[in-house]
Structure 1
Amino acid sequence: MRSSSLGSGAQFYEFTARSAEGKAELSVVIFDSQRCSLRVLDQPTEYAGGHVLASIMRQAGAIAGVNGGFFHPNFSTLGLMIADGRTTGQFMRSSLVSGAMVVIGQEPYLVWNSEFLGEKGVTQMVQAGPRLVDAGQPLPSLNRTKYAARSFIATDGQRLWALGTVRSTTLAGLGELLASDSLLPDMQVQRALNLDGGRSTALYVRQTDGQEINRPGWSTVRNYLAVVPK
């Protein structure tokens, strides 16, 4: 396992884990929500290209980030997005878009569709899915046949959060990995949500020495999730 400090208590890890499906290469940022905030960064330019990742993260003062939610072919958001209080799209319920990352009162939460109480008080939000882990257990209905690059967000249900990517796995494999004991240092995942993956998969990290890891992916994406020191 390789690790590096990102400041504000955040750590970046890269390692290979074994699952029932074989090896999976993970890149994961772990942070404490008492010391870092989660922001949704809107990227409304349809043909901007993935290379805008680093400049958007720098402008936000982010120490890490990944690509966010899904979007339609016309580049409108698939589901509801709230970026710094600005609302785009509409809340939707489906098997694909089954949860959301929301920020209320500067504290992030992973909420499932049935738990969503409306936009009041929400300053950041992005819908995505499917759900990968709930109550510490992988969801049993996840697909086991389609391998792709994946992006995810996870929490221990308290103050620890993880954003990450996996080079190639199925949704079921990712859920089982994230729910397994001792996968992430000092963090046991209670909930995890799949983000847009495949060609959209992107990762940005800025280490304390100023060096950047910038993996912008192949596609222009509509939004990103960013970790910003408080």
Structure 2
Amino acid sequence: MLIAFLACSEIPSASSTKEDQSNLAAIEQSENDTHHTNSSEVDTQNDSAVMNEPAQPASEPSQPSVEPASEPTTEPASEPSQPSVEPAVEPATEPASEPASEPAQPAVEPATEPASEPTSEPAQPASEPAVEPASEPASEPPPTVGYNLCGIGSLEPRPSGTLSDPISPSYLPLVDEGNTSSSTQSLWNSYDCAPTTDESGPEILYYFNAPSSGTFRAKLTDSTGVDIDIHLLQNPVETNGVVQGCIARGHEEIEVSGLSAGDYWVSADSWVNSSGSSFDGEYRLSFEWISEDQWNEIELTDGVLWKRMYYSNSYGGNQTINLIEIDFSYGHDLQPHNHGGCQTIDSAMNSIGAFAGINGGFFSSGCAGLDLLKADGVLHTTNTLHSSQGNSYQQRSLGWNTPTGFQWSWIDQQVDWSGVSNAIGGYPSLVTSGTVSAEIYPGQQVWSSTDWTDNPRTAIGTKADGTFMMVSVDGRTARGVGMTTTELGQLMADLGAVDALNLDGGGSTGMVVQDCWLNHVVSYPSDNSTPDHYGLRSVADGLYIKQ
């Protein structure tokens, strides 16, 4: 959020008048976007969409049979088939000894699917080998990591994307860069959810397991002269090129709510025009599965975890929380960065070679920072949020020489913090030595209406073991209502913070993670008043993680 000087007046002291307190509200009204070019109020209405990531599956999901259809379907469904909780199973003529590692293919006759086939981890052997010591417990197999540009899945080889070798991420969101021109498969020519649309060009197939009910969202971009469509399917059955089991189709986007747990397929298929020309080629695809009240956790690299939670009703309403936890003993760098003007955090992240980040402190209408920002010994801005209004309140700030030695302190206005080489200031303080208290300065709780109303929020914090936390709370869209600063302080404490600080919020709130969405934005920023990943605001500075 930025601060418009002409709209601001003095921040009141503890003995200030009601008029002074009103002036402080004007300063913080930047969280309500009064400083922004478009100052109209955006929608904060809640809706019933189920939006959250599921937890990573514990094992390789069960998959449909590889047996092709033996006879044409005589009565195709007139409407898209509804999702089913159960995965497809083998037809009666399929041998029972097919290896579990065989890649998935569509079932022949979904109507014969029993309801008893499990989707969870296969049962362990009934007995341990005799040579196994009684005191030695059987070791669990390591988690399966499928190909995925988001996180450690990027280290895995990319499958071909065919029926026998689908791209099967073990966690979501998935991000992939594909090219249907190089696909070796062109079997699915049309889909029952759009039977008159010719999709007889080559396709690339994806397969995933959703362990709980939720909402599916997908976004695809393709090159000029290329037309790739997205299809979501469950228990697909192909007969003479027509695929039954299509739940939804989209040219660039799909969003479907109310889906049950189970196995799903995603097809990126090439459209063919009436002249028979196939518009196959390069594309980028991302899709996610969002469930209620479950943390979804992704290991980005050694010592760095990205977590997301959609709360159906917590901290004052429905909330989307993004959390990055960093263990700096692995040698990562925490980098404050002055943007040198207005810049979005995804652009800034790429420009400095970082792989994750959040927005930083408050700023004026000219994108001049109003909080302390110091990077690698260079002082870019000082704490002036209060002094610009004639007050001398200290501001809570975080400083460090190395990111394994964080220091929290109240720093005066318009001065350098000479004892550290890196620092960032904010307002208000949220947690101090384990005590939740949203404070303007030591001992004085916040009093403005902006602090006591729901808004998108950004915060940083440290745990007792030195783990660093970056948090974004979405608001003003269907993805979440946002929080008060007191609720934010409680959230930070609940997440394990013993010290925490609020940064700029409102339309400025955002979080980015390299290759974990098409534009790297994993929060739902509100500046476009739309519940998607495309509403980032340009801000004055940010805080980033580098290798």
Whether the TM-score (by the shorter chain) exceeds 0.5 is yes
| Identical amino acids, percent of aligned pairs | 24
Q: Which residue of 2 aligns with 1:84?
A: 376
- Measured in 1, the distance between the counterparts of 2:325 and 2:544 equals 12
- Measured in 2, the distance between the counterparts of 1:223 and 1:102 equals 16
Q: How big is each residue's C-alpha offset from its partner over 1:160-205, in whole Å with a ceiling of 9 and x where there is no partner? A: 011010011111111112212xxx4xxx210110010001111111
Q: Which residue of 2 aligns with 1:24?
A: 319
Aligned: 1:137 with 2:137: no
Q: TM (normalized to structure 2)? A: 0.36
Structure 2 counterpart of 1:222, from 520, 533, 540: 540
SS in 1 for 2:520: strand
- Measured in 2, the distance between the counterparts of 1:20 and 1:163 equals 18
Q: Per-residue deviation at 1:110?
A: 4.8
The structure with the largest alpha-carbon Rg is 2
Q: Which residue of 1 aligns with 2:308?
A: 14
Q: Per-residue deviation at 1:8?
A: 2.4
Q: Which residue of 1 aligns with 2:473?
A: 166
Q: How big is each residue's C-alpha offset from its partner over 1:30-77, in whole Å with a ceiling of 9 and x where there is no partner? A: 01122222110110124x4x3xx2232123332211000111223222
Aligned residue identity for 1:38? L
On the 8 A contact 1:96/1:128 being kept in 2, the answer is: no
Q: Per-residue deviation at 1:134?
A: 1.2
- Measured in 1, the distance between the counterparts of 2:316 and 2:534 equals 26
- Measured in 2, the distance between the counterparts of 1:64 and 1:29 equals 9
Q: Which residue of 2 aligns with 1:67?
A: 359
Aligned residue identity for 2:340? P
Aligned residue identity for 1:130? P
On the 8 A contact 1:132/1:139 being kept in 2, the answer is: yes
CA distance 1:133–1:198, change in 2 (3 Å): same
On the 8 A contact 1:99/1:110 being kept in 2, the answer is: no
> Counterparts in 2 of 1:120-135, with a 5 A limit?
120-135=418-433
Structure 2 counterpart of 1:111, from 403, 408, 430: 408
On the 8 A contact 1:100/1:125 being kept in 2, the answer is: yes
Q: Which has the higher contact order (CA 8 A, sep 6+)?
A: 1
Aligned: 1:102 with 2:413: no
Q: Which residue of 2 aligns with 1:177?
A: 491
Q: Per-residue deviation at 1:83?
A: 2.2
Q: Provide the aligned C-alpha RMSD in A.
A: 2.9
- Measured in 2, the distance between the counterparts of 1:170 and 1:39 equals 27
- Measured in 1, the distance between the counterparts of 2:383 and 2:489 equals 24
Query: What count of residue pairs does the alignment treat as equivalent?
Result: 218
On the 8 A contact 1:137/1:190 being kept in 2, the answer is: yes
CA distance 1:67–1:114, change in 2 (3 Å): closer
Q: Which residue of 2 aligns with 1:206?
A: 514
Counting strand residues as a fraction of each chain, which structure ranks higher? 1
CA distance 1:118–1:89, change in 2 (3 Å): closer
User: Which moves more between the two structures, 162-171 or 33-42?
Assistant: 33-42
On the 8 A contact 1:96/1:130 being kept in 2, the answer is: no
- Measured in 2, the distance between the counterparts of 1:105 and 1:164 equals 21
CA distance 1:124–1:139, change in 2 (3 Å): same
Aligned: 1:153 with 2:460: yes
- Measured in 1, the distance between the counterparts of 2:310 and 2:407 equals 26
- Measured in 2, the distance between the counterparts of 1:19 and 1:128 equals 25
Q: Per-residue deviation at 1:217?
A: 4.6
SS in 1 for 2:456: strand
On the 8 A contact 2:374/2:380 being kept in 1, the answer is: yes
- Measured in 2, the distance between the counterparts of 1:86 and 1:115 equals 18
On the 8 A contact 2:353/2:546 being kept in 1, the answer is: yes
Aligned residue identity for 2:489? G
CA distance 1:171–1:26, change in 2 (3 Å): same
- Measured in 1, the distance between the counterparts of 2:357 and 2:339 equals 13
On the 8 A contact 2:393/2:412 being kept in 1, the answer is: no
Q: TM (normalized to structure 1)? A: 0.81
Q: Which runs of 5+ in 2 are unaligned?
A: 1-294, 387-391, 439-444, 475-481, 522-532
Q: Per-residue deviation at 1:212?
A: 6.4
User: Which moves more between the two structures, 122-131 or 12-21?
Assistant: 12-21
- Measured in 2, the distance between the counterparts of 1:114 and 1:164 equals 23
User: Which moves more between the two structures, 59-68 or 147-156?
Assistant: 59-68
SS in 2 for 1:30: strand
On the 8 A contact 2:394/2:412 being kept in 1, the answer is: no
User: Which moves more between the two structures, 127-136 or 113-122?
Assistant: 113-122
Structure 2 counterpart of 1:190, from 492, 498, 509: 498
Q: Per-residue deviation at 1:216?
A: 6.7
Q: Which runs of 5+ in 1 are unaligned?
A: none
- Measured in 2, the distance between the counterparts of 1:149 and 1:126 equals 20
On the 8 A contact 2:379/2:416 being kept in 1, the answer is: no
CA distance 1:151–1:145, change in 2 (3 Å): same
Q: Which residue of 2 aligns with 1:38?
A: 334
Aligned residue identity for 1:126? I
User: Which moves more between the two structures, 196-205 or 34-43?
Assistant: 34-43
Q: Per-residue deviation at 1:10?
A: 0.5
- Measured in 2, the distance between the counterparts of 1:56 and 1:166 equals 21
